[in-house]
Amino acid sequence: MKHTFVLGLLLLALLAPSCVMAQAYDHGEVGAFADYFRLGVTNPEINFVGLGGRASFNVASHVAIEAEMSYDFERNFTSTFSNGASTEFVTTRLRPLTGLFGPRFQSGASSPVRFFITPKVGFINFTVTNQNASSGFQSALGAVTAGNTRLALYPGGGIEGFWGFFGFRLDVGDEIYFDNGARNNLRATFGPVIRF
């Protein structure tokens, strides 16, 4: 009887950490990402690159609620004149700020690799400034209610891979904003995530 009790305690001590660890990583995620945004309405198209962050909380094993925000930096692009013989480098003062919110439908909440799709809604703000990145970000946040802000929809999907609580995430989608009709723009993000 005494040996059975000790063996039972030993077995419980060995299994408890794995049970706790399996439960510990399915509440939500936080992460940072590099953002690629192709603004298709300009000629030539401008490929913006920026940074962002996101947080999500699981409401069921295959559903999470997620919010994210990203800020894209100024870009240089080449402009060719109508004569075709001369070009110039131009720095755009346009800096998009995007905020999105919505559900994420995912395969296995605690599996090491999972696929997901996400329909999100939010805004995109087009700020024009020549300030540095940190001041420009603060200006863009202040201009969301008073600036050039448009309704945005984001249907997308992607893949996540985890090693314990740490992983990487890639997602790609179409960031659609409305300005005299729907404007489709390619958007991709990649970055580290921590799940808890």
Structure tokens at 136: 């420009």
Lowest-confidence region among 3-7, 15-19, 149-153, 188-192? 15-19
Alpha carbon distance 55, 142 (integer Å): 22
Alpha carbon distance 76, 138 (integer Å): 22
pLDDT for res 127: 78
Exposure class string for 90-129: b at 16+ Cβ within 10 A, else e: eeeebbbbbbbebbbebeebeeeebebebebebbbbbbee
pTM metric for this prediction: 0.76
**Which among 145, 41, 59, 60 has a CA at the least distance from the CA of 99?**
145
pLDDT for res 95: 83
CATH number of 28-195: 2.40.160.20
Q: How do residues 97-119 score in pLDDT, each as one tens digit?
A: 999 999 999 997 668 899 999 99
Residue 86 has, within 13 A of its CA and on its CB side, a CA count of 4
Rg of the chain over all Cα atoms, to the nearest angstrom: 22
Tell me if residue 180 falls in helix, strand or coil.
coil
Would you say 30 and 187 are in contact if contact means Cβ atoms under 8 Å apart? Answer: no
Alpha carbon distance 42, 65 (integer Å): 33
The residue ranges of every structural domain in the chain are 28-195
Q: How do residues 126-176 score in pLDDT, each as one tens digit?
A: 877 666 656 655 555 555 556 688 999 999 999 999 998 999 999 999 999
